[in-house]
A and B are shown apart, each in its own frame.
Chain A
Amino acid sequence: MIGVIVLLATMGDVLIAGAMREIGDFDVIRSHAGLKGAILAVLRNGRFFSGLLCMALSFFSLLFALSWADVSLVAPACAALTFVTDAFAAKWILKENVDRRRWIAAVCVCTGVFFLSR
């Protein structure tokens, strides 16, 4: 179940990040089309809604898991693992330049979230 939650959360993050990359810099869009134009650009993007759906499914899966599993295990495990899977997905799917600095940051935040949630 933790794997499903992490997978859905990662898919949601990657799809939304991909959508925002596709749409482009908000500051530039807003200077041309105003705030309304920037909001419309997001609402017209199909990938954004796919990402939103994955995030919603991940959230409800988490709620379902919390109804039978220990909250002190599921919540921190999902939050911490998602930082690492997001880094892998960003590197391989979004082709981001995940250098040593970003790997160290992902591991630090992942370990930190684990300790903080104990």
Chain B
Amino acid sequence: MTFRRYLVLGAVMVGASVGDTFLSKGMKQVGPVSLHHLAGLLIALRNPWVFSGIAFLILFFASYLTALSWADLTFVLPATGFGYVIIALLSKFWLRETISPARWLGIALITLGVGFVTRGPSFTNHTHPGPNEAVAVPAEASPQKDRHSA
């Protein structure tokens, strides 16, 4: 894993959580949107928090797709889970909400899970010894290591 790829994983973590938080703050300012007046959603786009939130969510999806192009789903998913930790920390330090001991336990468990998975290989190389067989080999044990572990 290169520093650039860690940055992409960082964008996956930050994009979704910051995007959701900004959207939430913006929609509270805009107020409720009725199903009968969906044009209200277009007005919501003028709110800077809503607009920034959507920009962050686009950043999240682009980073998520990029990460999946060189890493396994089971490697990228814990990174998306870390977004919940960022939301909790944003709510404590920015929105001044209190975090219960159960939530701190949740934060510790997610951090532990993300730490576990990022220390392993990011990609499974598939070799095909026969037409109906597929063998999954961790990237570190594969001769094509250079391509995927960079």
> Are B117 and A101 in contact, with the CB atoms below 8 A?
yes
Interface stretch among B23-31, B44-52, B68-76? B68-76
Whether B7 sits at the interface, judged by CB under 8 Å, is no
User: CA A95 – CA B132 in complex, angstroms?
Assistant: 13
Q: In whole Å, how far is B135's beta carbon from the nearest beta carbon of chain A?
A: 8
Q: Nearest CB to that of A48 among chain B residues?
A: B65
Interface string of A18-53 (1 = CB under 8 A from B): 001101111101000000000000100000000000
Which B residues between 55 and 78 are near A, CB-CB below 8 angstroms?
A: 65-66, 68-70, 72-78
Contacts of A20 in B (CB 8 A): 65, 68-69
Q: Nearest CB to that of B138 among chain A residues?
A: A97
> Are A116 and B120 in contact, with the CB atoms below 8 A?
no
Instruction: Give the residue of A25, A94, A111, A116 whose beta carbon is less than 8 angstroms from that of B73.
Output: A94
Interface string of B81-125 (1 = CB under 8 A from A): 100110010000000000010110111111111101101110010
User: CA A111 – CA B108 in complex, angstroms?
Assistant: 10
**A interface, over-half SS:** helix
> Are A112 and B119 in contact, with the CB atoms below 8 A?
no
Q: Nearest CB to that of B117 among chain A residues?
A: A105
Interface string of A74-92 (1 = CB under 8 A from B): 0000010001001101110
Instruction: Give the residue of A16, A97, A101 whose beta carbon is less than 8 angstroms from that of B136.
Output: A97
Q: In whole Å, how far is B39's beta carbon from the nearest beta carbon of chain A?
A: 20
User: CA A29 – CA B120 in complex, angstroms?
Assistant: 25
> Are A118 and B102 in contact, with the CB atoms below 8 A?
yes
Contacts of B74 in A (CB 8 A): 86-87, 90-91, 96, 98, 102, 105-106
Q: In whole Å, how far is B17's beta carbon from the nearest beta carbon of chain A?
A: 12
List 13 A-B residue pairs with CB atoms under 8 Å apart, sorted by A's residue number.
A17-B68, A20-B65, A24-B69, A25-B69, A86-B73, A98-B74, A101-B117, A108-B112, A109-B77, A109-B113, A113-B106, A113-B110, A117-B84
**Residues of B that sit less than 8 Å from A by CB:** 65-66, 68-70, 72-78, 81, 84-85, 88, 100, 102-103, 105-114, 116-117, 119-121, 124, 126, 134, 136-138, 147-148
Closest 3 CB pairs of A and B: A108-B113, A115-B106, A116-B106
Known: A105-B117, A112-B106. 6 other contacts (CB 8 A): A20-B65, A97-B137, A98-B74, A107-B113, A109-B81, A113-B84
